[in-house]
Amino acid sequence: MCYGKCARCIGLSLVGLAVLCIVANILLYFPNGETKFASENHLSRFVWFFSGIIGGGLLMLLPAFVFIGLEQDDCCGCCGHENCGKRCSMLSSVLAALIGIAGSGYCVIVAALGLAEGPICMDYLGQWNYTFASTEGQYLLDTSTWSQCIEPQHVVEWNVSLFSILLALGGIEFILCLIQVINGILGGICGYCCFRQQQYDC
């Protein structure tokens, strides 16, 4: 198995996932494509935690680029051993993976809390509140109650869809970073076994 190629695949995947997280988080600020709700502070408080932009997005790019560069990296060749630097690089990637785990974990937790509490919206009485906060997430199973939110229109569907996407993307990022922790440890201990004349798929 080529540890470096596998790390590169993980890194490239994380870049794509990070971009999707950023896009999903940005869309949460514009229910139905309207900007007025953000300016009037009528958005779920968990939207302002920037879980997709920071946790699943920007914070994920650091380990992603570290993983992508592992194939060519040689951070500390030593004692005349050709693979020593490669092993050092693989072990150091574990630290980057832990940063990714923290970022993706943050994204998952905030998205889960956002789903459980539900959106802030205007009810039939014309008051803005967290209509589903007391349901402990049970509203997700009863779509007939979603009509209690009058404005923004379809805000429940909007929030549920995007927070679910962030939850899923964050979960995938978490798993990939966890895999890289194992991959980095194995690559560091067992040696960097990728030869130029051989081509492996991770």
pTM recorded for the entire structure: 0.87
Residue 27 three-state SS: helix
Nearest to 159 by CA among 195, 131, 185: 131
Longest distance between any two alpha carbons in the chain, whole Å: 77
Omega before residue 152 within 30° of 0, cis: yes
Nearest to 129 by CA among 117, 141, 143: 117
What's the CA gap between 187 and 92, in Å, rounded?
11
The CA-CA-CA angle for residues 39, 154, 132, to 5°, reads 85
- The answer to whether 165 and 20 are in contact (CB under 8 A) is yes
What is the mean pLDDT, run by run of 10 residues, along the chain of 202 residues? 84 98 97 92 95 97 93 52 66 93 98 97 94 95 95 95 98 98 87 44 43
Q: What is the DSSP letter of 201?
A: -
pLDDT for res 82: 53
pLDDT for res 72: 67
Q: What is the DSSP letter of 30?
A: S
